[in-house]
Amino acid sequence: MRQLAAWLRRFSLRSQGVFGAGYRDDATSCRRWLRRSRAGSPAQMQTIYGVSGERRLDEHEIPWLSGYENSRPVRIGNAASNQFQLDVYGEVLAAAWQGHLAGIKMTEPDWALMVSIMKFLESHWQKPDEGIWEVRGGRQQFTHSKMMAWLAFDRAIKMVENCECAAFEHFGRWQKIRDQIHAQVCEHGYNAKKKAFTQVYGSDALDASLLTMPLTGFLPVSDERVKSTVEAIERELMQDGLVLRYRPQEEGIDGLPGTEGVFLPCSFWLADCWYLLGRKKEARELFERLLDLRNDLGLLSEEYDPRHKRQLGNFPQAFSHVALVSCARILADEDALPIGRD
């Protein structure tokens, strides 16, 4: 158990959702919050803040508390605040691009901040990180993280192409880096024997975060590598009709003991992919099954235990609700993708 906190990743994803849904006032407030949270050097940008904007979230355990249903350890703070999570930069830039598409113009401070973030990424995108799942088993070359670094450069390029700004001088350099990242992911992230993009460069382990590959526009859903990755995740990460994010007990990559439930955002991503692959009936059935997991207030946690038929983990979880809204829009045939419309 941990104290309440605000994740930059989830706030960025939420802002994309409200941009796409046309809630301009809420979207503008999201933009302001993101700008404030990113104040200072990009190297100082945290993945997580306190609900009141606190930066200091040093983690320590409280051994005399048992936690909900004896869910020790109870922790104050969050060590993830000091992690390097490369994917966050892609989500922040995707949110900026989505705001532009929604008609919310970039201000001079916005442009300056974007350029500073991209300069930071130019020298940091090749480094290992803790990834979208905030692992505690050491930094790795996560395939999803590299894909999201590609997304950051891609959306920055699109903004320069579509706006009059002083960032044009960086355009050619950013294009080269974007293409370099794309080539590297396709070479090192894809396992030809497994016929799938894998969790970490050179590994056999699968990771459901890679279901977002066609949703970002990194590769089209018609690409055979994407199709076979979706099929591999179906074979190895589905449990009781829903999706595990990975198999921690087998890989040991997250540095945590025990097992976990199916991960609800990943299950929505699978429905997205099925729909885009033309498997529309299956996608709608999975979406409806996920809706049935909501409580009496329509809320979802981040995980679900199919055996005991109960929600698990952080509750309510913005990540799950953003994935729900994005999936609903795709199934409604709207011209939108969950992670920064292309």
How confident is the model over 166-192, as pLDDT tens digits?
667 788 899 999 999 999 999 999 999
- End-to-end Cα, the chain, rounded Å: 37
Residue 290, in any domain of the structure: yes
Residue 141, in any domain of the structure: no
What residues make up the domain containing 334? 214-342
Q: What is the pLDDT of residue 89?
A: 87
Phi, psi at residue 199, to the nearest 5°? -60, -45
**Other Cβ atoms within 10 Å of 203 Cβ, number:** 18
Q: Is the pLDDT of residue 90 over 70?
A: yes
Residue 37, in any domain of the structure: no
Residue 230, in any domain of the structure: yes
Report the phi/psi class of residue 121: left, alpha or beta, with left for phi > 0 and alpha for psi in -120 to 50.
Answer: alpha
User: Which pTM does this prediction carry?
Assistant: 0.83
Query: Among the ranges 9-23, 80-94, 129-143, 222-236, which has the highest mean pLDDT value?
Result: 222-236
Rounded Cα–Cα distance for residues 182 and 168 (Å): 21
Residue 314, in any domain of the structure: yes
Q: Give the SS3 label for residue 251.
A: helix
Q: Is the pLDDT of residue 128 over 60?
A: yes
Q: What is the pLDDT of residue 4?
A: 44
Q: Is the pLDDT of residue 53 over 60?
A: no
Q: Is the pLDDT of residue 195 over 70?
A: yes
Structural domains of the chain, count: 1
Q: What is the mean pLDDT of residues 79-108?
A: 77
Q: What is the mean pLDDT of residues 134-145?
A: 89
Residue 69, in any domain of the structure: no
Q: What is the pLDDT of residue 312?
A: 84
Residue 265, in any domain of the structure: yes
Q: Is the pLDDT of residue 9 over 70?
A: no
Residue 229, in any domain of the structure: yes
């905030």: which residue's tokens? 134
Q: Is the pLDDT of residue 57 over 60?
A: no
